[in-house]
Amino acid sequence: MRRRGMRVGRRQFLGAASAGLAAGSVWSGLPARASVSPNEKLAIAAVGTGGMAAADLKNLAGEEIVAICDVDEKTLATAATLYPRSERYHDFRLMLEQEAGRIDAVLVATPDHLHATATMMALKMGKHVYCEKPLTWSVQEARTVAAAAAERRLVTQMGIGVHATDNYRRVVELVRSGVVGPIREVVVWCNKAWGGDGRVHQPVPAPATLHWDLWLGPATARDYAAGAYHPGQWRRWWAFGGGTLGDMACHLVDLPFWALELTLPESIEAQGPPPDPETAPPELSVTYRFPARGQLPPVKLTWHDGTRAPKEVAGYPVPAMGVMFVGETGSLFADYGSWKLLPADRFTGFVAPPQSIPKSVGHWQEWIDACKTGGPTTCDFAYSARLTETVLLGNVAYRSGRAISWDAAAGKPVDCPEAEPFLSREYRRGWTL
């Protein structure tokens, strides 16, 4: 174990171990400590410390934050003031390798393009993982990560905290009670616009405090450009994020996905401006069609973002984002914190069904408790990988310019070679899964 304050440079580390690291054989494969009990603190390493990572760390701060990692020295320094006992790193591969014997679990909260690489390394080491949404950058990565977690029987959770709220649970109960009858249509919308801005970004040297090559990770090398990527604009770029759909759909589509017991779509069709090879669109509509599930009928789910976000759905005015379940006998609107049965006069005197879904101890606490006891989480990678795959297939359909028939069993489009390039990526040496 290195002494506190010592820094091992990326070149020094890779010079000694890059060949084995790329092959996945450097780390020890030590499992999470068997001695963790409900009364013992979980030892956690954090990949990322700013943005959502900072919020995640705050919710995990009651445990032992053993090590923190960030490619931005300023962001890392800020986190170090909050977690002064933690070891500090810039390269998560080095952190996980050196701290393997001291940690039980790993938080992954980076830009999307790094999620799978960091998560897979942690899973292969036998560590429990909490990963921010979307679970992965690509469809292929989602399947690979879910399989690795299942094979090793590790405790996992994707970061969609709204899943644990009382409001979402009540909406799931209402839908399943049949209050609006069988549901064959759902509309989901969000007026955010994580699209390309059309500017030409001139390459400039990266700030001395930013480890740009580490920030790029598995993505194809490119020059830094001020204001284009780091810290807050990377979602606009296909190389690093998935636009508004990649950012928001895991939160919003999660509700119908859960309530209607959806699995994977059988077809996906997207509409928007002509696709740009580099950046996500400023507005997008996607139509997913899901097959019947037992006695539950097929479902058409439509997503709208940016200026395509509707001002009314099923004849009712709606706010900037939300979900509308359209049933045979009425509609149910929901957002993060509220729900409403429509038309209101049809449901006068309505009495909600008894609570059937247990109240959550909290999204982060669910994961912590499960890591210590082996219990379940509500957004494990088995569930979250299917949700993530569904979301990402909207971007695949849009970028391919084709409606896609999806073979869920094989994880492949049917007779649509145009979609194939957008299902996975080539990884730079040292960053493969």
Q: What CATH number corresponds to the domain at position 318?
A: 3.30.360.10
Q: Are residues 114 and 171 in the same domain?
A: no
Question: Does 271 fall in a domain?
Answer: yes
CA distances, 337 to each of 93, 167, 183, 334, 341 (Å): 38, 6, 22, 8, 14
| Averaged pLDDT for residues 283-304 | 98
For the chain, what is the radius of gyration of the CA atoms?
22
Question: For position 37, what pLDDT does the model report?
Answer: 66
- 351 confidence band (pLDDT: 50, 70, 90): very high
Q: Are residues 61 and 142 in the same domain?
A: yes
The model's pTM is 0.92
The answer to whether residue 34 scores a pLDDT higher than 90 is no
- Which residue in the block uniquely carries the two structure tokens 């469809």? 139
Q: What is the longest distance spanned by two Cα atoms in the chain?
A: 71
Question: For position 78, what pLDDT does the model report?
Answer: 98
Question: For position 36, what pLDDT does the model report?
Answer: 61
Question: For position 1, what pLDDT does the model report?
Answer: 30
* Total count of domains within the chain: 2
- 145 confidence band (pLDDT: 50, 70, 90): very high
Q: Are residues 317 and 334 in the same domain?
A: yes
- Packing angle, helices 139-152 and 381-400, rounded to 10: 170
Question: Does 25 fall in a domain?
Answer: yes
The answer to whether residue 12 scores a pLDDT higher than 80 is no
CA distances, 286 to each of 221, 329, 416 (Å): 31, 25, 17
Q: Are residues 338 and 309 in the same domain?
A: yes
The answer to whether residue 366 scores a pLDDT higher than 70 is yes
Summarize pLDDT for 325-347 with one digit per residue, the tens: 999 999 999 999 999 999 999 99
Summarize pLDDT for 35-76 with one digit per residue, the tens: 466 779 999 999 999 999 999 999 999 999 999 999 999 999
Of 143, 162, 181, which one is at a domain's C-terminal end? 162
Angstrom distance (rounded) from CA 72 to CA 74: 6
Judge contact between 268 and 182, C-beta under 8 A: no
The answer to whether residue 97 scores a pLDDT higher than 90 is yes
Question: Does 205 fall in a domain?
Answer: no
Q: Are residues 235 and 298 in the same domain?
A: yes
| Averaged pLDDT for residues 285-297 | 98
**CA 66 to chain CA mean position, Å:** 24
Residue 346 lies in domain: 163-196+229-358+382-422
- 382 confidence band (pLDDT: 50, 70, 90): very high
Q: Are residues 49 and 172 in the same domain?
A: no
Q: Are residues 182 and 295 in the same domain?
A: yes
- 198 confidence band (pLDDT: 50, 70, 90): confident
Question: For position 9, what pLDDT does the model report?
Answer: 40
| Averaged pLDDT for residues 352-380 | 96
Question: For position 197, what pLDDT does the model report?
Answer: 78
H-helix or E-strand containing 212? helix 212-216
Q: Are residues 187 and 149 in the same domain?
A: no
Question: Does 431 fall in a domain?
Answer: no
Of 162, 185, 207, which one is at a domain's C-terminal end? 162
Summarize pLDDT for 218-244 with one digit per residue, the tens: 999 999 999 999 999 999 999 999 999
Question: For position 14, what pLDDT does the model report?
Answer: 37
Of 162, 183, 213, which one is at a domain's C-terminal end? 162
